Structure 1
Amino acid sequence: MSRNAFTRNRAVAVGAALLITAGAAGVAVASGEDVTHPGRKVGGHAAAERAEPREAAALTGKAKLFRKTTEDVTFTFDAHLAARHNADPSKATGTFKFVHLEKPGGKGGWATGRIDCLLTGGKVASATGIITKTNIKEMNGSRVGFSVHDQGRNDRLGYSWAATGGPDGTKKLTKCNSAAPFEKVKKGTGDFHVTPWNPPYPEGD
């Protein structure tokens, strides 16, 4: 092959590559992808997501409580207050679960339910919910409360039945009401996360 023929073929190949690159960039732009950062979207839904305000408050995570006995006590939260409900903590949604066993894998009680109120201030959360499933019949349908102090893997937790020894089946507990977070989380068993709430303060004239 002559040098001129090689040069012409190389030019054609480079031109084709440029066309392919330009075509791919056109597709990326059409789909909203930032071609300088593959996978990053520009405009469209991504822009709307960036503009969307964060949720008003949240309490999430799972951890075991510290015990000097063989007891195995675990709490799990997935509670959220949407931005549109910032002024009404009773519009919170999500789930909770707690399990109290005499020893890991042993006998004990458990309950799961739906969150019906969530308040947070700084790294402290207070929430309540209705028990929807449990192996203790008397607790089903009752409201229970929880409190959490998010301290970065040294968290504390409280619950509405702290002074009574166990959930008493009451349905009259006030929403978002609980005991102070007096319990310690057992190190290495999990972590709770609290998203601070920004309450809508009244504004003067």
Structure 2
Amino acid sequence: MIDLLSTVRFVPSYPMLNNPTSQTKFGGRVISTVEFVDPYRTVDMETQPMKASEAVQLQAFIASAKGGMETIVYRPKHICIPRAYWGDPNNSHITGTASRGTVTDGYTVQLTGVVPGLQLMDGDMFSLKSGEYRQFLQIAYGGGATAVSTTITVKVDQPIASYIATGATARFKQPEMNTRLVKDSFQMSKGPRPTATFQLIEVPR
């Protein structure tokens, strides 16, 4: 398991949730939609123009990813804390530890041990970690809340995975996601200030 390279500057990117579905149509109209794979996230990574020293470091990092066999821990950089705390990254509401409590209907999760007053709004990201397993989550539309005690209940954009056990650690500042390099996705341009692109795909561990 390795961390995403921190010595190369990346263009801001957004982890995108993919919901693989198939649709049945009749007479040009959709009559049913079926999900056939669990939702997962992908991140399209793109570097800023690099110096030669950065380019060779990136090449070494890509080699260490072993064509997708090595897990890469991804942490978003430009949107890395809940919106209520933008400009206040060391606020105690988001730097403490919290845990996964009960889950209702897959999508509604209780978080315990939070600082009273914690605000989580639509689109805010956080992660849950159980052992080496991680799940990256986003507050669903209309699913935010403000903690009035040490417990907060929110609705998220995908079901809580079975490998994320009760008591899993919640992370609100720089949430983490286990990813793998998508095979053959890495490309680097030529010239004295090259740019490079590659794609990461979410995995359980």
Instruction: Give the TM-score, by structure 1 length.
Output: 0.23
| The structure with more helix, counted as a fraction of residues | 1
Higher CA-based Rg: 1
Instruction: Give the TM-score, by structure 2 length.
Output: 0.23
Q: Which has the higher contact order (CA 8 A, sep 6+)?
A: 2
